Amino acid sequence: MDVRELGIEGAFEFTPPVFKDRRGLFASPYQGEVFAEHLGKPLFQVEQVSHNLSSRGVLRGIHFTATPPGMAKYVYCPYGRLQDYLIDLRVGSPTFGQWVTTQLGADTCRALYIPVGVGHAFLSLTDDSMAVYVMSQGYVPENEFAMNPLDPAIGLSFPADVELIQSDRDLAAPSLAEAQERGMLPDYALCRELDAKL
C-alpha cells in the first residue's frame, strides 16, 4: 500500500494495490497494520459508517464537527470519481486555512484519514459517485457545521467544465472569517489531544 502524508498535519492518503481481472477488481482501502505503522496507533473505534451518492457537479461541504466532541473520518470512493478537499480549520495550526486536494475513485480505491478539526468537502466528477465515511462519532445534527466552499479566502479550485450543485445549507454557510468570529472553529491543541485519544 502506498501511504502519503498530506500537507495538513495528521492527514494521510492510502492507496492500496488494486487487483483487476475479467471479473472486475479487488482492493483493501483500509489495512490496520499499515495505518498503525504510519499514524502510530490503530484506527479509532468505529461508531458509524455512512455513504452517499452524488450526481456529477454535486459539491458537498465544507463540513466539520464541533470540537469537542470532534470527529475523525476515514473516507473512500468505491464507485465513481470525487475531487476531495481537506481544509485545516484548527485555529493555531501552522497550516490553518490551507487545503489539499486529491482524487478518489473506484479505479484507485484510494482513501483518506481526516483528523479531528480538519474540514472536508468533495466535488462529484461523475454521476452516482459514492463516498463512504467511517467515523469515530455518530452523527449528531447540532454538532455538525458547514462553511462556504466558495469563500475566496479559502480559494478552493474546481474544474471549469463542471456546473456546481449545492445544498441550501452549504449555500448559506458562513465564510472562514465569519465562522471564526462566531467561535465555530476548533482549537488546534485540543484537536491534537482528542485525535491522539481516539
User: What are the structural domain ranges in the chain?
Assistant: 2-197
Q: Which residues contact 156 (CB under 8 A, 6 or more apart)?
A: 85, 87, 99, 101, 121, 149, 150
Give the amino acid at 191: C
Q: Which residues pair with 60 in a beta bridge?
A: 122
Topology (CATH level 3) of domain 2-197: Jelly Rolls (2.60.120)
Write the pLDDT tens digit of every residue in 88-97. 999 999 999 9
Q: Which residues of the chain have pLDDT under 70?
A: none
Q: Which residues pair with 114 in a beta bridge?
A: 73
* The pLDDT of residue 114: 98
Residues marked as catalytic:
63, 133
* The pLDDT of residue 11: 98
What predicted TM-score, i.e. pTM, was given to this entire model?
A: 0.96
C-alpha cell read off for 113: 484519514
* The pLDDT of residue 96: 97
Write the pLDDT tens digit of every residue in 43-86. 999 999 999 999 999 999 999 999 999 999 999 999 999 999 99
* The pLDDT of residue 142: 95
- Beta-sheet pairing, 59-65 with 99-105: unpaired
* The pLDDT of residue 26: 96
Give the amino acid at 80: G
> CA-CA distance, 190 to 157, in Å (whole number)?
29
* The pLDDT of residue 6: 98
